[in-house]
Chain A
Amino acid sequence: MIGSFKAEILKLRKRPATWVLLGVVLGLTQLFGYVLPYSSWLTSDQNFRTQGLDPQAVLAGVLPGELVPTSLGGFPVFVGALALILGALAAGSEYGWGTMQTALTQRPSRLATYGGKLLALAASTLLLVLVTFALNAAVAGVIATIESRPLDYPSLAELARGIGSGWLIMGMWCGLGAVAGFAFRGVALPIGLGVVWVLGVENLVSAVASSLLTSLQPLRDLLPGVNAGSLVWSLAPGGGSSGEAPPGVIDAVTGGRATLSLALYVATFAGVGALLLRRRDVT
């Protein structure tokens, strides 16, 4: 499995799409987490991110103390969608290019090849979360210095919990993308369906269950995106001191239940992917 892991890391490292996705995650996190709120604070103009909020709360959201909720705000929805794309690309491309055949005719067993891919995706998503937190910490530090505010970063335990939660959320979406890539043996359909699910279906079901059909709430509470949003909510109830929860961050289930649900989703996606790769012919 070590050989497969090294091969997968080399492929991911040299693949332009990996870096594009990393750039988009960092860019969007910066835009919605720091640029829009801080520019609103500086200019006293309100934008859609700061509408109706107390300016002091807006500033608090971009300071080091809010590093965890601000960093994770985009994870349930848009970072999730990007993680899903990463997983779908890593698995589905192997079929599109026919390289699954190349990988499976070397030395490792199918499960070892698969395990190497999962490990590489897990390492990549962890790195992505760490880079996001590091960049956000640096930007929050700069803003705090400019505004003459104290550099009160979260404790190491809070940071670890935040990073772990981010990794779990990304891992879950990435796993869904990968299992869809294995199931559909391609890239286009998993990405198309996955993005529709993350950005459309989840929000729609969630909105309907919250307002029109409350009897749907038990079903809603099982959805992966809802659990991802609940986990982020549990780290900063009400959206933290900034007072406004980002899209997808909701108070649906407890943090403990959300963590367990997401872990079960990761295990299920990993198991289904292994079953698909192990049983099916590669032509």
Chain B
Amino acid sequence: MRDDTSFLTSRLEKAIGWARKYSIFQYPFVTACCGMEYMATACSHYDVDRFGAGFPRFSPRQADVLFVVGTISHKLAPVLKRIHDQMAEPKWVVAFGVCTCTGGFYDNYATVMGIDTIMPVDVYIPGCPPRPEMVLDGLMKLQDKIMHQSTTGKRSAPEPRPGINGA
């Protein structure tokens, strides 16, 4: 007896992944100078809409990719975490700029040393600020990740960051 289930499921996952990766509703959490580069990427010259991500939603409940653009301070961290918690699954997080990746050149009393200390991050785009080409490259990597993800959006737990979660 033939079993079509597995055949059908894999096609469905692929179709859903394909649809998801070209309909990114992003939430731009813009705090600092990286915002300029984000805007350059979003505007017609680089045209992020070519990748289906041209529609910013300023409500976390309607967004599925959180773009964290710019330095996050300890005062702001609970706000960002709450925004992330309000987003519905499946959701992804992009750390845009070196401040969100590691804290960048800030090493002081005020700055969060990388947003991955407070939430899972899918794609890191370093740079101070990153060029739009780098942003588009990061976006394509995110699309690749979305494409190869299960339908439910489940994924493995993020690896602990050496020196912070581990030690």
A, B co-complexed: no
